[in-house]
Amino acid sequence: MKRLMWLLAVAVTGCQASVRYPAANLADDSYQAGEQWQLVWADEFDKAELNDANWSRRVAKAGRFNAEWQRYTDDESNAYIDNGCLVIKAIHEGESHGENRYTSARLETAQKQSWRYGKVAARIQLPYGQGIWPAFWMVGINGKRHGGDTRWPFCGEIDIMELWGSKDDGAVEATIHYADRNSKHAWIHPQTFKLPAGRFADAFHVFEIEWDEQQIRWMVDGQLYATQPITADEFGEFHQEFFILLNIAVGGKDPDFRPDERSVFPQYMYVDWVRVYQQGKS
């Protein structure tokens, strides 16, 4: 069905669609979770509008998170459904670069959908370029920003995928954030996955974790590239329910990660689907 919708989009909009969508693999989805995994939740983005039972649009002013330059809006120009995909769109407003000159979207399943352990996966075509920072990640449900009573990073954060366009459009990173034994913000970046050639903006890829009582494992297109044990006491926050987030950030604290004359806008993050699996459940 998604292949048919994409072909119709090409017929209607011509070369514009061939630029915005990868011509080869939008419908070339051969993902298999494995026989031991049972699907417990999914959003295939096959309806006309975003499913409000699954997602909230976070609204935040520029600088609210990590000194980022974008405003997160609840406007459908920044997040919408198109041709069977969720589209997150980062827009440059104006001619100059700087804080509060961009809009984007941050979607969350907070207080709607959350899980403890499992396989969490999404099929995504990423944006690219100087100052562009897309992410597919998770945060503990007890965080104050999302209705809980615990400040970040005591709630824990799992970055399933982050791409720093300012560094390498062909590389994504795995990271966890937590509070260490001294109650200080700590993070572990176990590994980076780099494509043999090209950019993550050139096609869809599957980003996923397998998360259990012992460890978190990161994969891209089924290839395991990072493992982090979580059995030590300081990793206690990773044994509660977490919710999912998807966003494109623009800029940040580091001047090297800010957009400039090299940056191309608008930027698009296409999400074909998001799925959660667990063992022995359905």
Quote the strand ranges of the chain, DSSP E.
37-43, 56-57, 70-72, 79-82, 85-92, 102-104, 106-108, 118-125, 132-140, 157-162, 171-179, 185-194, 205-211, 215-220, 223-229, 242-250, 267-279
Residue span of the structural domain in which 140 resides: 34-279
Q: How many domains does the chain have?
A: 2
pTM, to two decimals: 0.91
Same domain, 6 and 41: no
Nearest C-alpha neighbor of 250 from the set 126, 136, 99 = 99
Check if the beta carbon of residue 95 is closer than 8 Å to that of residue 260. no
Same domain, 134 and 214: yes
Same domain, 12 and 39: no
Tens-place pLDDT, residues 116-171? 999 999 999 999 999 999 999 999 999 887 788 889 999 999 999 999 987 899 99
Same domain, 122 and 41: yes
Same domain, 6 and 43: no
Tens-place pLDDT, residues 24-82? 567 788 999 999 999 999 999 999 999 999 999 999 998 788 888 899 999 999 999 99
Same domain, 61 and 156: yes
Same domain, 123 and 247: yes
**What CATH number should be reported for the domain holding residue 227?**
2.60.120.200
Same domain, 103 and 6: no
Same domain, 164 and 243: yes
Same domain, 200 and 246: yes
Same domain, 24 and 131: no
User: Would you say residue 14 has pLDDT above 60?
Assistant: no
Residues designated catalytic:
157, 162
Same domain, 229 and 143: yes
